[in-house]
Amino acid sequence: MNTQKRKTLKQETLIKGIGLHSGKEVNLRLIPAEANTGLVFIHNVKNKKSIIPVSLNYVVDTSNAVTLGDGFRIVQTVEHLLAALHTRGISDLILEIDSSEIPILDGSSKIFIEVIDSIGTKEFEEEIEPIKIQNPIWVVDGEKYMVILPSETLKVTYHIDFKHPLLKGQSLTIDLNEEILAKEILPARTFGFLRDVEALQARGLALGGSLDNAIVLTEDGYLNQDLRFENECIRHKVLDLIGDLSIIGRPIVGHIIASKAGHALDVSMGKLIMSKITGDEISKFKSKRIHDFLKRKTSLVG
């Protein structure tokens, strides 16, 4: 099986945007890291810093989005950013953020990957070996299920069946090499139903949501007039899946078949892969190496 070189960014950069729920400005700083650091969030609010590794051990919530946390602080909606990092093979990066949620930007991964491409990546000599699925594995939750079959490439067959005339009984099968991910999946925006948006905003949530960063469905159509793909919603479900599974920390080679899945099922599959295919590789996380690296970065550790 072909291995891949570990990568980081060539230089530091800052991404600004609003949080989907808070509606407030978020600053996300992407900082190059040494090989084998992994992806690590630094939650930095009022000079109080917490280290939150991108790891299945740190997933604390999967309702509506994936949230990572250390028991004290959280970072919400990480999947769009992670999908972009995964697509460009970035394995080692410090992600310093001054909020509890990633900026929503346009509701997809398009801007994240554009920023990555404008900076470029640095390749290390160290390698990362993809996980090649050898035998079928699956997770089931009522009518929802996900199966991964052996395959020579990464591909997805996804099925959705929402109670909406435009999203009922829809399926998509697509190969997911780097080029297809970047062009056909990452630009797909998140979506929601107008009735749900109104209920969320009444509870003080989704205050940053708008037609600029989400596809909004009425009872029988779209509020948006600018769909990027005819089936943009199901493509976004694939985006979420790729971002969620990337928390494993290694690329997957297999044919993913998912029906009515979501963040909870994605993370469950990730945990199953780690336990059955690789063992608990999370335990190999080099926390001391990360702390030593952060101490040398005065902008991160006070």
**pLDDT, tens digit, 9 for 90 and up, residues 103-141:** 999 999 999 999 999 999 999 999 999 999 999 999 999
Is residue 113 domain-shared with residue 17, that is, in the same domain? Answer: yes
Q: Is 244 a member of any domain? A: yes
Is residue 11 domain-shared with residue 79, that is, in the same domain? Answer: yes
Residue 281, pLDDT score: 42
Look up residue 301 and give its amino acid: V
Q: Output the domain CATH number for residue 155.
A: 3.30.1700.10
Q: Is 20 a member of any domain? A: yes
Higher-pLDDT residue of 260 and 203 is 260
Is residue 144 domain-shared with residue 252, that is, in the same domain? Answer: yes
Beta-carbon contacts of residue 265 (< 8 Å; ≥ 6 apart): 139, 141, 144, 145, 146, 258
Is residue 170 domain-shared with residue 34, that is, in the same domain? Answer: no
Is residue 26 domain-shared with residue 153, that is, in the same domain? Answer: no
Give 71-91 pLDDT, tens digit per residue. Answer: 999 999 999 999 999 999 999
| Residue 294: band (very low, low, confident or very high) from pLDDT cuts 50, 70, 90 | low
Of 198, 237, 241, the residue nearest 216 (C-alpha) = 198
Residue 2, pLDDT score: 75
Is residue 144 domain-shared with residue 270, that is, in the same domain? Answer: yes
Is residue 261 domain-shared with residue 139, that is, in the same domain? Answer: yes
Residue 150, pLDDT score: 96
pLDDT at residue 12 above 60? yes
37-51, 92-106, 192-206: least confident range: 192-206
* Residue span of the structural domain in which 51 resides: 4-129+285-295
Q: How many CB atoms lie within 10 A of CB 274?
A: 22
What distance, in Å, lies between the first and last C-alpha atoms of the chain? 43
Is residue 151 domain-shared with residue 223, that is, in the same domain? Answer: yes
| Cross-strand pairs, 50 | 43
Q: Is 302 a member of any domain? A: no
Number of domains in the chain: 2
Q: Is 106 a member of any domain? A: yes
Is residue 77 domain-shared with residue 216, that is, in the same domain? Answer: no
Q: Is 300 a member of any domain? A: no
pLDDT at residue 28 above 50? yes
Is residue 89 domain-shared with residue 198, that is, in the same domain? Answer: no
Is residue 60 domain-shared with residue 173, that is, in the same domain? Answer: no
In this structure, are residues 7 and 33 in contact, taking their beta carbons and an 8 Å threshold?
A: no
| Residue 99: band (very low, low, confident or very high) from pLDDT cuts 50, 70, 90 | very high
Q: Give Dmax (Cα) for the chain.
A: 55
Whether the model pTM is above 0.75: yes
Say how far apart CA 38 and CA 36 lie, in whole Å: 5
Which residue among 80, 255, 263, 291 is the active-site one?
263
Q: Is 255 a member of any domain? A: yes
In this structure, are residues 163 and 220 in contact, taking their beta carbons and an 8 Å threshold?
A: no
In this structure, are residues 159 and 137 in contact, taking their beta carbons and an 8 Å threshold?
A: no
Q: Output the domain CATH number for residue 40.
A: 3.30.230.20
Is residue 52 domain-shared with residue 114, that is, in the same domain? Answer: yes
pLDDT (average), residues 51-64: 95
| Residue 51: band (very low, low, confident or very high) from pLDDT cuts 50, 70, 90 | very high
Q: Is 48 a member of any domain? A: yes
263 is catalytic: yes
Q: Is 301 a member of any domain? A: no
